[in-house]
Amino acid sequence: MYRIALLVLLGLAPPLFSQALPTASRSADVQVGIGYAVGRPDYGHRTIPGLSVYADIDLRPHLGGEVEFHSIADTSGSQMAERTYELGARYFRSYDAFVPYAKAMLGFGQLHYPQGLTTLDYSIFAGGAGADFKLSDRIYLRGEYEYQHWNGFANGGLHPQLVTLAIAYHFPGRLHR
């Protein structure tokens, strides 16, 4: 009887002294931001303001994904506007508080022609570069340039360019940059 009790106690000893497994963990860094965008739509010759919203999900050191929405609209009364919905990959490096990156995106864009004539959708691809600056562990400031190519538009496509200044909230995971 004592031998059975001793075997049971010895069998239970490792679990009694082991550490608890984590109940929840996140292996990715997530960042969500909103910003002021200024775009040259390549349809007409003016620069127009707008909004940018994005989310980054960094799954590996230096590699992640991004989803992004831009909306720029002419404020002079022409009713011209562009909206883009994009998804892609990004490569980044961390240098203390400075985090430069480059990205490649695919998606679609909507062009609202002047005077409300019509709205057409186009497939797009885009490339961009920018940098995040860590104001704190949770708050980042972003500056970005993006060049887009809209397929199917007359005369070789539409090539809008955007510059964005944004602020983001960072949810650090195990890959904390």
Please report the pLDDT score of residue 4 as a whole number.
Answer: 52
Q: Is residue 60 part of a domain?
A: yes
Quote the pLDDT of residue 101.
98
* 7 falls within a domain: no
CATH number of residue 87's parent domain:
2.40.160.20
Q: What is the pLDDT of residue 69?
A: 98
* Total number of domains constituting the chain: 1
Tell me: the pLDDT tens digits for 14-32?
A: 554 455 555 445 578 999 9
Range of the domain at 71: 28-171
Residue 138 lies in a domain: yes
The pTM for the full model equals: 0.80
User: Residue 159 in contact with residue 144, Cβ under 8 Å?
Assistant: no
At 173 the pLDDT is: 77
Instruction: Evaluate whether residue 14 is within a structural domain.
Output: no
Tell me whether residue 48 is in a domain: yes
Is 17 part of a structural domain of the chain? no
Query: What pLDDT sits at residue 123?
Result: 94
**Segment 99-117, tens digit of pLDDT:** 999 999 999 999 988 877 7
In a domain, 66, yes or no: yes
Pick the more confident residue, 87 or 117: 87
